Each structure stands twice: as structure tokens, then as C-alpha cells.
Structure 1
Amino acid sequence: MMLAFVGVFLFVAFGAVTGASSWLEAWGIWGGGAYGAFLFFMALLVIPDLWIRGTAPVRFHRQRREVAFVVEHPGRRVFLPSPSAHLMYGFWFALFSISGGFVVFSLGFLGGEEELLGTTGIVWMAITHLVISPALAIGYVALYRGVRRLAGWRKETVFVPWEDVVAVATRNMAVTVGGPAGIGWQLHILPPDPERPGYSLAGAGIEVSVTSLQMAMMQWELIRRYMEEGAEAVPERADDYSVAWYKDEMARQRRRHEREGKPFWRYRLGRWMELAYFASWYTEYRVNHVLPKAIPKGWVQEWSRPLPEAEWAQPSAGLTELSRQVTAAYERGETFLDLGPVEERFGQSNAGEVPKAAYRSVPFSANVG
């Protein structure tokens, strides 16, 4: 991103020095380039936000011992590209950014010998930028969603018993003509299909990128201990990548550099070039303002309410015994990564699964559970 800004800066600087015959033209070149860079910067934020808002949520309820998943049931095939597809977003962004940058750029040459657009042309280009382009984007989103509804696509919330939930760690390798480019891990939390043992419900579940298999196992163990033992069994919510974390990290790095006799300003400059402070601030913004928009207001509101302790669901006898033995292993000093396959180690094996009744479900937008 910083390289893109530097490239735009050099381009407009070159144009201002060699191609501008007046301060007004120089302002048009600089302004058009700066506005284009600003729109490019905003595009890098909008694309992930659209993806986050379209991500189906998952909610854990330890007192009910249930997990609410969102399942999207497909209907007839829709021959329209998704609004979040790169093709559609690229078309919208190109129309929006080019028209905006060209308006500012043309203002610098208005009334000059090399006038690019007349007043009427600039007005229409500005209308395209401010009205027509956003209207096309919003209208296409509404059209796409309407067509999918007519084609029978629908979402519903499925309540899965906690002991049925499946966690899978997968390894992904990117392969290019030069060979393997990198390996990444992902933790998938999935609802199984009760009517088809061995399969998960289509269009449901979440995935989280992790750095290693061990990290995937630790993430899952934190969720398991929360559901089995309560919030007191897991650390408090991590504050990583918030503004407070960034300031603490800078203070820690300053002390480290001073202790090692290294200049701290180089490290600080590198973080500034990476827009690290802005990234921390925007992460907080996404958590507080973008993520909540992924669900309708009041989603499973009744189901999410706490229950009196007398009504709490209880674990099965087999799981209770496994949890007891795992806790005993912890008390002996073993770690989660040392345990290996828990069922095999403690003499239990999964019986062959058989089809059973479908899980309870409600429409995705319903407030009841």
C-alpha cells in the first residue's frame, strides 16, 4: 500500500514539474493524483469490510450447551456475479475512482488552452462520480439479493448440540510455477449433518487462519474449556492489535532498543510506513462497528438469554469422564499438545455414527430461538 502511495506521489510530482504551465494546472495534477490515491486506500478497507459483513456468525451458549450456526440453503442457480466478486468490485471502483480523479484533474485545466473538459463535462463527470456510480453499486446489490430470493436461496439458524460440533485443522499450500510458495493453516468449526454422517451442513461454519497446527489446537482448546468449565477457565479476551496494544508494544520496543543500544527511530519509522497505528485503530473500528452488521438486529435474542442454573444442560457421561481425565493430565503437568488423540489415550473410541433427526432451526432473521 505504501509503495502505491509512493508511486502516485512520484507520478504527480513528475507531471507537476514537466507538464504544468500554471499553479492551477499543478493543483489539478496534484489534487487528482492525491484523490485517486485516497480512493485506492479506501478500496483496501471497503473490500474486507464487505467480506466481514457477509460472513455468517456463530454463537456459543454454554448454559444450553448449544452452538448457533447459520446455514445457507442453495436454490436455483443465479447467473449473476456476486457484488463482492473481484470483477464487479473492480468495475465499480474503476468507474468511481477514474471519474473522481478526472474531475479534480480537469478543474486544474478549466479555462486554459489545454482544457480537457468544459464546465458541462465536469458537471456530468462529477454527477457520475457522486450519484450515478454509487447508485449503480447499491442498485446491483439490491438486484442480486432479490434475484437470489426469487431463486429460492435462504438462510436459517441451526442449533447444534455442543458435543456434535466438529473442529478440523487443515493445511493449505500455495503452488506457483516456481514451486510451493507457502503453507498456511486454518481452523474450521463445523456443524455436522445429522442426516448424513461424515458430512457437514452445506454453507455453514467458520474458519480462522492460524500460524500452525499447534495454534489451531490451542484455539480449539480455549473454546472447549470455555464451554466445559466456564469463562474463568480461559484467559481474558486478548487485546492484541488494538490502539492500547500498539502503544504498549511501542513502549516495550523502545525499552528493548535502548537496552540493546540500537536506535529506536528506525523501528518506529518502519511501523509508520506500515501504517501500524492506523491498522490498530481500524481493527477496533471493525470489531465495534463492522462485525455487528453481519447479523440482523436481535438475532436469536431469546435463545441467547442466560438460563437459571437449575436449567443448565449437563454433559454426557462419556464426555464428563474424558474431561475428568484431561483435567487430571493437566494437574500432572502435561500440556494439551502432549495429550495426542484423547479418545485413544484414555480408552474410548467413537462408535459408528448413524443418521438422526435434523437439528432444530429457525429463519436467520428470527429473533426467537
Structure 2
Amino acid sequence: MADYRIALPAGLLIGIPGWLGLTALSYISLRQDVRARRRQCPVRFHRQRREVCFIDSHSGKAVIVPWESVTAWVATSSGATEYGAMTHHNLGIAVEDPETGDLYTLAIGGPTAAIAAGLWEAIRQYMEHGPTALAGLRRSETAATPDPRELLPYDGVHTFELRRERLHREYRDGERGPVFVFFWYVWHLVTLWKVPFMISEWEYRQGRAPLPQAMRAWSQPLPREQWAEPSALLLCVRKHLAELERRNPRGDFAAHYRQARAAAEQELSARPERSATEG
């Protein structure tokens, strides 16, 4: 959808032939993307089970690991091309098969290191606090329950409708002026109104590999009483991390985390000894 929305106004500036050429290139790129996604089974995160499921592309085996055992990192690489120096940023995610020790990895590109890290933070917020914790869900932040359209896992026509409703609400509240509203409508009229969102919705529905039976069964929701709880270590790290950030809100997060982790491990290791002494 992003390629299409760039190609359309750019093509209009260089005439109908340019528009047709850029639109054709965007369509070819979209088709290649869809075909590639059809061959790759997605990684799934189950917050009720607190587990992650990878599918081995060779054997089709479902590899299920605890959420807290997942490793993530952001990698930055640079290289020279005929067009100049290029820098790439990727979010890496890895899990280890507990039965065989095989390592499975996934790389997700981002335009900047901060955005790549933000992708992981979005996953973490979802797994730890639920879908309503994501910063983009502002439509029903004052409501008891979020708008169901906000929880859909793809952009589509509903995304356009939500944005227009938000625009009207912000205009009524005085957060947006008439000039901003005017150009919002001009931009969407130039880019054929809802067509890009229809393309995005079609891309999502067409570009997904069928889920194996094991993953479909694992993905089913659980009764509330069967939901997994965070480990004692994670809860203890959270407590110490919150205290460190309260004392020094501008401190380095990585340093805070290392201190919180060490303090949590020390506290947990001392608990059995204290219990035995008290007993």
C-alpha cells in the first residue's frame, strides 16, 4: 500500500505514462510480496499461554517455546552500492527448539534502529499488557472496551474509517484546524480515497500461508483461569526496574535492566534460605 500511495501522486506529476509505469511497478512489487508471504508461515505470539510458535519451513514441525525464553536484538549494517552508502536496520528474533537445540530466527526490517526496536516493544507490550496497551489504540481510550476494528491485525477500509472518525473528533475538540482537515481530504482524494486500503486488505487476505493444524489448535483462546502467569523472576525484575527508573528517570535503560536483573536474581536466591531460617 505504501508503494502505491507514493507512486500515484508522483506519477500524476510526470503525466499519465509516468503514472501508469509507476503503478505497474508497484503492482509487480506487491504481487512478489504476496507470493513470498504465501510460502512463509507466520510466527505467532499467544499471550494467554505466554508462548511463541515457530514453524520449521523444512519439516513443518511446530516449535513452541516459552515467551520469556525468546531472544531479540537490533542489528545495523552498512554497505556501499553504486547509489552510495546504504544502512539497513533489522529486528532479530530467535527461539531454540527445546527438544533438538535447533535455532530458528526471524529478521524484520525497519527504516531506523529506533523503529526496529519499537517493533519489539510493540510485541512486548502486547504480550505483557494486552492489545489495548499499544500506543496506536487511541480511539476508545476512555471507553470500557476498545473498538473491535482497532484490534484487527491488518490495515484495511476500517483503518480509513477510524482515521476519519478521529480527524472529525479532533476537529470538534479544537486539536485540528480547518486547513489540516482540508488537506487531509485532498490527499486521500488524490490517492483514490479508499482504494489503497482495499489493496492493503486484499494483500493481507491473499498473502498468508495456511496455518498447520498444530498451530491452529495451539492458537485457540483459553479460559481465563488457564492463562499462564509471568515467572517470579520477571515479576521481581519489573519491581526493581520500576524503582530504578523512579529514582533516575533519565538513566540508561540497559544499565537499569542489568542492575534490576542482578538484584532480582539475588533476591530470589535468598528467599529459600530466609524461609528455612524462619522455619
**Same fold judged by TM-score > 0.5?**
yes
Decide which of 70, 78, 85 is 1:173's aligned counterpart.
Answer: 78
**Deviations, residues 278-304 of structure 1 (Å, cap 9, x unaligned):** 3233113323x224x412375523322
- The aligned counterpart of 2:238 is 323
Decide which of 255, 274, 290 is 2:206's aligned counterpart.
Answer: 290
Counting only pairs closer than 5 Å after superposition, residues 10-49 of structure 1 correspond to structure 2 as 42-49=27-34
Work out whether residues 57 and 295 of structure 1, in 8 Å CA contact, stay in contact via their aligned partners in 2: no
Query: 1:167 offset after TM fit, Å?
Result: 0.9
- Report the secondary structure of 2:161's partner residue: helix
Counting only pairs closer than 5 Å after superposition, residues 263-282 of structure 1 correspond to structure 2 as 264=183, 268=186, 272=190, 277-282=194-199
Query: 1:69 offset after TM fit, Å?
Result: 0.6
Counting only pairs closer than 5 Å after superposition, residues 115-154 of structure 1 correspond to structure 2 as 154=59
- The aligned counterpart of 1:225 is 125
- The aligned counterpart of 2:38 is 53
- The aligned counterpart of 1:200 is 103
Question: Is 1:304 aligned with 2:225?
Answer: no
**Deviations, residues 101-140 of structure 1 (Å, cap 9, x unaligned):** xxxxxxxxxxxxxxxxxxxxxxxxxxxxxxxxxxxxxxxx
Decide which of 45, 55, 72 is 1:70's aligned counterpart.
Answer: 55
- The aligned counterpart of 1:258 is 179
CA pair 246-48 structure 1, distance change in 2 beyond 3 A: farther
TM-score computed with the length of structure 1 as normaliser:
0.49
Distance 1:178 1:243 in 2: 36
- Report the secondary structure of 2:124's partner residue: helix
2:32 partner letter: I
Distance 1:338 1:271 in 2: 45
Decide which of 111, 117, 120 is 1:211's aligned counterpart.
Answer: 111
Query: 1:186 offset after TM fit, Å?
Result: 1.8
1:60 partner letter: F
Question: Is 1:340 aligned with 2:249?
Answer: no
CA pair 226-269 structure 1, distance change in 2 beyond 3 A: closer
Distance 2:127 2:17 in 1: 55
Gaps of 5+ in 2: 1-6, 138-149, 266-279
CA pair 240-4 structure 1, distance change in 2 beyond 3 A: closer
TM-score computed with the length of structure 2 as normaliser:
0.62
The aligned length equals 235
Work out whether residues 56 and 206 of structure 1, in 8 Å CA contact, stay in contact via their aligned partners in 2: no
- Report the secondary structure of 1:307's partner residue: coil
Distance 2:119 2:23 in 1: 37
Question: Is 1:159 aligned with 2:64?
Answer: yes
Distance 1:271 1:296 in 2: 37
Distance 2:132 2:243 in 1: 18
- Report the secondary structure of 2:60's partner residue: strand
Distance 2:13 2:49 in 1: 54
